Structure 1
Amino acid sequence: MSEIKTVGILGAGKVGIVLAQLALAAHYNVRISGSGSVQKIALTIDTLVPGATAATNQGVISKSDLIILAIPLSRYKNINPKLLKGKLVIDAMNYWWETDGIREEVLDPLSTSSEQVQKYFNKSTIVKTFNHMGYHNLQEEARPAGTENRKALFVTGDNPEAVDQVAKFVDSMGFDTVVHYHLADGIMTEPGSALFGASLTRSDLKNVIDHFDETEFGKRIRANQEI
């Protein structure tokens, strides 16, 4: 896979802005799009992320080595999957009823959200991360590698090479990682899980993940998977 030099972020909301700030601080080129016109988004970007470039979705995707989906989950199908063909894509989205509406209208209950995102963008490589830590924590907890009590993020996907590359990217953004190689394991970090909203060190994060199946949420998920 090609070296990551330019990071493209689809979504100029709170998460997208924070990730853009972290990426700039890590010396990446950053391109970002939002739901409004490029001119409108540019005003926000110039104020909150000076140095980033506002563009259309196509302008972001075509010139970026890595794409981050930081939009409401209910809107990912507004993006033509052909635009993301061949791209490495981070799914930082979660189902959230206040913005997405009724869950059954957004998601098939028989698979995880990231699996459905991967199915839709079937010519792209999806890796799940940046979704379980709140944007305030992402902004405030980023630290250089080796810092004591550095916080960690879960990274998972079905393509080991892509997962490892994204894990290195996450490390460069200021966080340790716990890595899995099964996209469906992203459910461990989605709303309802013990990890959602948590800001933990690598050892604590790994401990919670290792005991996922023992939680009530984990038991419900595993029971549904066996149906």
Structure 2
Amino acid sequence: MKIGVLGTGFMGKQLARKLAAAGHQVNAANSRGPGTIDDDVLSTGAVAATVEDAVHNADAVVLAMPHPGHEKIRALISSLPEDVVVIDISNYFPGRDPVNPELEAGKAETEWVQEYFGRPIAKAWNNIGMVSFEMKGLPAGAPGRVALPVAGDRPQDREVAMALVQDTGFDAFDAGPLSGSWRQQPGSPVYITDLSYEELGPALSSAERERLPRRRDLSAQVFAERVGGRASPDAETVVRIARALFM
């Protein structure tokens, strides 16, 4: 499959590496141009590209950037052919992102992204912590494999996104349409808690929508106090704190 990964921060880098290692033709792009993409992003076979080249004739495009980055690519993504699967991995964090009144009022984040681009969007990879995503991928059927939810209004988008999640080393759980994708947003019981496939469904069902923003903001304070300006804690510390706060 030909895949464009737009954004080469930590998650974009790992996605480019993992998907290329799985045998996909991956073009990685960022807003600064292909000459600024580090060699480690390309270490398993991904190719540095412009944003335009990354999405040209792509079967799937991954938006690996926070919401403020969407403005620069709005026209490009909106004009992609209908059959291209576009996958959003972003989360909304007030304080980092400009205040979005619709999200503050409770609209599901990727429903807003879908309306912003005016085309179908799927949601995946947003609920896995950075260190866990790098370190915890396992072959299919391996004990202890972490599961990730995938949401989207079109079944074919969910099918493709789920296959790609599997290719990155995680079980994929069909979380249904975007209207329910708030259940995998920050503050929910499945957010950075590294659950198994069997645990994921009940955890999604137990999410309480009105409590998510408070839990999200509390976790930001806890992690800031824990690590300050340093790198993210190790994966097990992240999971232990997240399970205490969100479950």
TM-score range, shorter chain: 0.7 to 0.9
Report if the CA contact (8 A) 2:16-2:41 is conserved.
Answer: no
Structure 1 residue aligned with 2:105 = 109
Residue among 71, 92, 97 paired with 1:95: 92
Where structure 2 has 5 or more consecutive residues not aligned to the other structure, the ranges are 216-247
Residue among 169, 172, 176 paired with 1:177: 172
What CA distance in whole angstroms lies between the structure 1 residues aligned with 2:151 and 2:5?
Answer: 19
What CA distance in whole angstroms lies between the structure 2 residues aligned with 1:126 and 1:192?
Answer: 22
Structure 1 position 215, deviation (Å): 8.3
Between 1:58-67 and 1:9-18, the stretch displaced more is 58-67
What CA distance in whole angstroms lies between the structure 2 residues aligned with 1:114 and 1:154?
Answer: 13
Within-5 A mapping of 1:1-227? 5-41=1-37, 44=38, 46-50=39-43, 51-79=45-73, 80=75, 81-86=77-82, 87-104=84-101, 107=103, 109-123=105-119, 125-213=120-208, 216-217=211-212
Between 1:160-169 and 1:129-138, the stretch displaced more is 160-169
Secondary structure of 2:32 counterpart: coil
What CA distance in whole angstroms lies between the structure 1 residues aligned with 2:7 and 2:200?
Answer: 27
TM-score, normalised via structure 1 length: 0.84
CA separation of 1:35 and 1:169: change in aligned 2, threshold 3 A: same
* Runs of at least 4 residues off by over 6 Å: none
Report if the CA contact (8 A) 2:182-2:209 is conserved.
Answer: no
What CA distance in whole angstroms lies between the structure 2 residues aligned with 1:128 and 1:214?
Answer: 17
Aligned length: 211
Structure 1 position 37, deviation (Å): 2.3
Deviation string 1:159-214 (CA, Å, 9 cap, x unpaired) is 11221222122112211122122112111111222222221111122221122249
Structure 1 position 83, deviation (Å): 4.0
Where structure 1 has 5 or more consecutive residues not aligned to the other structure, the ranges are 221-227
Tell me which amino acid in the other structure corresponds to 2:58: S
TM-score, normalised via structure 2 length: 0.78
What CA distance in whole angstroms lies between the structure 1 residues aligned with 2:40 and 2:157?
Answer: 33
RMSD value, Cα: 2.3
Secondary structure of 1:99 counterpart: coil
